[in-house]
Homo-oligomer: A and B are copies of this chain.
Amino acid sequence: MTYAKTAAFTADQQQLARVAKALAHPARVAIIQLLASKHTCISGDIAAELPLSRTTVFQHLQELKALDLIRGEIDGLTVCYCLNTELLLQVQQQFTSFFTAATTGAACGPDDGCAC
């Protein structure tokens, strides 16, 4: 395009958007929930529990890894994928303050001109 005007926004806005994008696909949400439910996970097993091919799951894992939301360490033949709990806590903070600002920001009241 004429594409990706991302750079023109605040660092905060970009960061929030980046993480939101990581959660913007049900497969990635499912992967995180799966990792949270088990102590340790292996890429192949994850593919087995999702309605997607191994390749596609791997791609989703890469995206999550690119943001460092999950980590994978080679353990012999298999790989142990783990959640980055510290980062997830930070991200949760970001979302919380974003939502708090959004919901506590004064809503349209009867004193305004508009009708909502």
Contacts and interface: CB of A to CB of B under 8 A. Distances in A.
Contact of A107 (B16, B20, B27, B82): B82
Which size bracket describes the interface of A in this complex?
35 or more
Given A35-B105, A107-B85, A113-B75, A13 B29 contact: yes
Contacts of A48: none
Contacts of A109: 39
Q: Is the interface of A mostly helix, strand, loop or mixed?
A: helix
Contacts of A82: 107-108, 114, 116
A75 B9 contact: no
Q: How many copies does the complex hold?
A: 2
Given A30-B9, A39-B112, A112-B40, A105 B83 contact: yes
Contact of A30 (B10, B21, B27): B10
**Which of A10, A14, A33, A35 gathers the greatest number of chain B CB atoms within 10 Å?**
A33
Closest 4 CB pairs of A and B: A36-B105, A80-B114, A9-B26, A20-B23
